[in-house]
Structure formats: C-alpha cells, structure tokens
Amino acid sequence: MSQVQTLHTTLSPIDLDISRSENYPSHFQNLDLENVTHGNTNAGVPDNWSSTPSLRLTADSFGGSEPISEATIFPSLPPLYFGHPEVHLRNGIINASRLANDGEIDAEKAFFVADLSQVFRQHQRWLACLPEITPFYAVKCNPDPYVLRLLAALGAGFDCASNGEISQVLSIGGIDPSRIIFANPCKANSFIRNAGRLGVDTMTFDNIDELYKVARTHPRAKLVVRILTDDTKSLCQLGLKYGAPLVTVPGLLAKAKELQLDVIGVSFHVGSGCYDPTVYSDAISRARSVFDMANDAGFSFTLLDVGGGFEDALFEQAAAVLTDAIQQHFPDRRNIKVIAEPGRFYVSKAFSLAANIIARRAPFPDTSTTEYTTTLSDHPSVMYYINDGVYGAFNCILFDHQVAHPYVLSMDGSFHVPSSEPVCLSSVWGPTCDSIDCVCPKTELPRGLRVGDWLGFDNMGAYTVCAASQFNGFEVSKVVYTLGGGASAAEMHNKLIAFAAEAGLL
C-alpha cells in the first residue's frame, strides 16, 4: 500500500550496477550497498530494465570524481572537477543517498551541475561565427564565479548593470575596467560616480536626464546611446523600458555636445531570447543611421554594440544575419570596434539541476475508480513535489517565460529507467507553500516514480540561480562544477591557471 511506497524510497537506494564498476570513487566505497538496495530490486538487472540505452557508470566515467588538485587556483571557490556532467549528477545522487543513510539534515537537497566545458564550446562557436565581435558577457544572466573567471580567461569583456556587478567582476582581479561596459541606461548618480572612480568609463544612456547626471558625476565617461529596435520577436522585450527612439537621437547628441560629453557609439538589444534573428538586420541599419547622425552632430563614433538576445538553437543564423548586415552598413570598419552583450547564449545549456521528489500525491491504489485513469481526462493524476521551485531556480518560469521539462534521473534506486515503464500524466510542484509554485503543470512521467527518486532539468543556466530567493526557508541550490573531459578540459584548466597567474592570484 501507499505506506510501503513512501517508506522504502526515503533512502534513494543505489542500483547494484554501480557497485560492479571497479574503480568507483573512495567516498562510495563506504556505502553499504546491501543496506541501501531496494528490496524489490533483484540483485541482477531485471530483463525489462536492460532494454534501456545503457547509461552505466564505468571506471572511465568516474575519472572526474576527484577534485582537480589545483582547485586552489581560486581558493575561495568550491572545488572544480573533471568528468562528464552526467557523472556528477549521478555522483550527487549517490552522495545524497549516503548522507540520507547517515541521517544527515537536508541530505537530499537539490543541486546544479555546471559544465564549464559547455561555456567553452559556446565561446568557440562565437569565435567561429563572429570573429570580429568581442563578447561582453551580460553578468546579470548568471553571475557564477567560475563562469566569470572562465570567460575572463577566454578574453571576454563584461556587461554590468549595477555597482554590485561591477564590484564582483573587478574583485576577481586581472580584469581591466576597460573590459566592462556599464550597460544600464538608467543609473543612480552614486553608481555613475563610483564607476568613474573605478575606471569604468564606457556606459550607456537613452535619455536627457542621464546626460545631466553623467556630466555632473563622471564627465570623462565614454557614452553609448542605446536605441530602440524591434523587440517583438523575443521572449523578454526590453524596449518597453529602455532605448531611445531614433527621432530623439539628434536631440540627445546635441545635448551631449552642449554638456561637453563624449559619445562614442551606439547600442541596442533586440530582446532576450530572440526567436527571429532577422531583426538584427533592421537593428544594424538603425545603428548605421545613428552613426550618421553622430557625424552631423560632430562626433565620430568608434563603437558598435549589438547587444544580446542570442538563442542557442538560432545562433548560427543570427550570426549570419549580423555579419551580412554589418558588412552592408559598415563596410569600412577600420576605426570601429564591434562588441556584443550575450548572456543566455553562453550559460543556458551549461547548468543542469537535479531535484529530489520529496512528496507525492497519487490516487489511492486500491480504489479502482481513480486507478491512474489517464484516459478519463487529460488531467494529471499524480502530483510530485520537488525540493526546488519557482521561488528558487525555477523563477525562470515566472520571470523568463521558460517551460520546464523534467526527466527521470533516478528511479527506484537505479539510473536505468526501463523503456517499458508505463507513464501517466503528472504535475510537478516546488517545495514552498504557495500554489503559484508549480514547476510543470502537465507532463508524462513514469508511473513507478516515488518519493526519493530524482528528476533532472537541463538548460538551467540562464536567469535561474541569479534570481532565486530563499522564500519559505528553502536555500538556493548549490552548484557542483566540472570542466568536462578530454582535451578541452585540459585546455580550459590551463587557461584558468594562466589567467590566475597573470592576475597575480597564484
């Protein structure tokens, strides 16, 4: 009965397959696999479980489970590992199981795995498609300390929107303030003054008041006029709040001249999560007309900032549109530096979240009327409650218009989900007591899923951790870091060390 179902799974038992891999890491060796093995699971792998694609952990895939010895490159940061992110998701689950076994508080807490090699791959894509455009990573998207350091080591600049973000980037060490653009067109006076003190000179504006403020607090600033472009083809439209309409630009430039301010270029943002990259073309043509207006006003612009908005799946397409438009409207780029402010593109795919099923509300198994009758209606019959939600990492559902797609990481103590396992319509909820805290209103999940099993969520790197709250006393989920495997991991490792050495951190 239901009592049995909830009790036996509290331990998240481990599939015996893992015990068979010869070199599993030392912290698993203490694991009493006999004790944590689910009574219903045969010692061997049942026939119906072998039909799933094999995801077995091998000695090889465990290569990444010891922290890199030079994790002290950045002593204040959490350890850095090698190895495939999936290995670390599973390690985390096995570890949680061990902690649960030891009666540890919060043993089953949700956690992220950050695959820094994914950030590295995105950078390589960037270099391949947009070699002329220097990325200034939008810090607000995910101000993760390793992401910032890796991007700094790769030569990126940073788009900061506040004093706090500027301090965070500069406190890393080894990053010249010229590698920061203060890309918030509406800043507090004290923030502008402080940016000036710190040597952050490049900053955006889109209104007259901002010019007066800058004239008073940081007259040497290198200003960038943020213009309004078509942002209707994006998940998050920013034009509602920012961007000077083109008709206002001559007036703004004239005022800047009168105040003896230096305006050096133009920026725009087509909206975050842009799903129609052709909008970049129109934006570039508008930027061209602003360059011409600047000439008329006695400025000679040297900076073209094409903003953010890059979506992973459409990146190559967006890059092609941009490249063509820039070539068409700015054929002579000898005195023009082109930068962009990508956020989502760099980090979205790099973070996965593992969340534990802490509670479940299912139809009584012994009442035939409600017995998983998915055919009866399209109403989810099982409710799962997990230990991260919309007040935490899944705030992206509310703020960033995202849809969560759960998959099963572990079920019944195994990482193998039998393909024969029947599914039923389910809903997934966060841990807080608010009913808005729904992670996924309707999805198909295996019928056999129980309390103690783990769900995984990919693409959790953008606009997630950064806006998570501790509402209702639930902590923000922690991150496990990996550089991935193979040659790129070694290359990234070397780059991080070189960066730290150059910054005088070693």
Ligand X SMILES: *Cc1c(COP(=O)(O)O)cnc(C)c1O
- Could you tell me which residues come within 8 angstroms of residue 23 by beta carbon, excluding any fewer than 6 positions away? 59, 62
What gap in Å lies between CA 155 and CA 484, rounded to an integer? 20
Q: Which of 470, 405, 471, 417 is nearest to 442 (CA)?
A: 405
Q: Which of 140, 187, 222, 286 binds ligand X (CB under 6 A)?
A: 140
What gap in Å lies between CA 24 and CA 471, rounded to an integer? 37
What gap in Å lies between CA 85 and CA 460, rounded to an integer? 13
What gap in Å lies between CA 117 and CA 214, rounded to an integer? 40
What gap in Å lies between CA 412 and CA 15, rounded to an integer? 8
Q: Which of 159, 210, 230, 400 binds ligand X (CB under 6 A)?
A: 159
If you search the block for the tokens 């994790």, which residue do you land on?
Answer: 71
Q: Which of 85, 157, 239, 342 binds ligand X (CB under 6 A)?
A: 342
Task: Note whether 141 binds ligand X by CB under 6 A.
Answer: yes
Q: How far is the CB of 328 from ligand X (least distance, A)?
A: 23
The amino acid present at 321, given as its one-letter code, is V
- Lookup: tokens for 233: 């083809």
The amino acid present at 297, given as its one-letter code, is A
The amino acid present at 391, given as its one-letter code, is Y
Q: Which residues are catalytic?
A: 433
Closest CB to ligand X among residues 217, 267: 267
Closest CB to ligand X among residues 239, 308: 308
Q: How far is the CB of 314 from ligand X (least distance, A)?
A: 12
In the region spanning residues 228 to 267, those forming contacts with ligand X, defined by CB under 6 A, are 238
Task: Note whether 349 binds ligand X by CB under 6 A.
Answer: no
Task: Note whether 308 binds ligand X by CB under 6 A.
Answer: yes
Site stretch for ligand X (CB under 6 A), options 59-67, 105-113, 190-198, 342-350:
342-350
The amino acid present at 72, given as its one-letter code, is T
Q: Which of 135, 343, 413, 456 binds ligand X (CB under 6 A)?
A: 343
Site stretch for ligand X (CB under 6 A), options 5-13, 40-48, 303-311, 331-339:
303-311
Q: Which of 12, 91, 101, 272 binds ligand X (CB under 6 A)?
A: 272
In the region spanning residues 359 to 388, those forming contacts with ligand X, defined by CB under 6 A, are none
Closest CB to ligand X among residues 120, 384: 120
The Cβ of residue 343 has, within 10 Å, a number of other Cβ atoms equal to 26
Q: Which of 68, 170, 183, 449 binds ligand X (CB under 6 A)?
A: 183
What gap in Å lies between CA 339 and CA 413, rounded to an integer? 49
- Lookup: tokens for 15: 């599939």
Closest CB to ligand X among residues 249, 483: 249
The Cβ of residue 345 has, within 10 Å, a number of other Cβ atoms equal to 26
Query: Which residues would be at the binding site for ligand X (CB under 6 A)?
Result: 138, 140-141, 159, 183, 238, 269, 272-273, 307-310, 341-345
